[in-house]
Homo-oligomer: A and B are copies of this chain.
């Protein structure tokens, strides 16, 4: 599983001492070729962490030979020194791995914003990680990028003779424009950078970009897809893209399932929208409504809060034509009282909200979480 499920990759996860508790905090993923094609998608937050600014430049070349990832510090809002630290990280990896330039090394960081990384620990950690590289190191790499994640997250898919594997971290600051997360996907399929880019953008648009746990967009979101070509097989673009989407969807669901303090995973499906954009706008508005999120936590099928959220959007709809189902019970019909709300069974973790805009034929699914006292507790003490 993880990033070493595909041939041509080695990985490691070690404790460099960035985290004061001694937990693993540094991961290294190396593409051993023969191909080193890559694509990346990054946060749309305009305040971007140093490693995002660096890796965006690296990806412009369409080749990545290795990725260094650290938890324990986001290296965001750290000024020129932060950018120099990322550069030094890439230089160190290039030196240790030999035969590569820093310009082919992507860097990703996660953790608290506004703190400089302890480079005296991080740089020796890269040597330690390089020494631990293994074709079975994918799990350890996935463990080393955890922050408040309670479990590490991996997924795999593929076709005849080729594989797409991946790992992800993310538990808070999960919102569109990419959830707060680091994701590395690998494949041994023989695909060029353009093919990777098309598959990755298509996949993230309907998976990670439609996860909205808490409405907060990160400064560090990074999703990378690296191809080694080691299988020697060049699948059809469509088949390959579908495998990438499957892995992204699997990881996105794991992110929601492990979101900080959450007790419910909320699947919001907006149907019969005039446009897909309308469906996404309405879905996000519902996903971000704190009062609704509290109601779901209380297992209260409070459809009035769904309607009040829909009403704040610019989507095409008539208020008296809206229908809303919660766990398949149509509690709101024609913008007014529908079936008996007592019929809604909300005991299980997954809650399904269907919002019918009665305005067209387009649809979209957004995944969200409930809002809980545990979320408040976890995030009111995060940096102290």
Contact = CB atoms under 8 A, between A and B. Distances in A.
A206 to B, nearest CB: 21
A134 interface: no
A336 B113 CA distance: 9
A294 B336 contact: no
B290 A76 contact: no
Contact of A379 (B82, B294, B311): B294
Contacts of A294: 375-376, 378-380, 382
Nearest to A82: B336
Interface residues of A, number: 67
How many copies, total?
2
Contact of A308 (B116, B217, B305, B383): B217
A interface secondary structure, majority: loop
A319 interface: yes
Considering the complex of A and B, which 8 residue pairs feature the smallest CB-CB distances, nearest first?
A113-B304, A298-B380, A47-B311, A79-B336, A294-B379, A373-B373, A45-B311, A114-B304
Contacts of A320: 79
A216 B289 contact: yes
B337 A291 contact: no
A308 B113 contact: yes
A296 to B, nearest CB: 8
A297 B380 contact: yes
Interface of A: 45-48, 74, 76-79, 81-82, 112-116, 172-173, 177, 214-219, 288-291, 294-295, 297-298, 300, 302-305, 307-313, 317, 319-320, 322, 332, 334-337, 371-373, 375-384
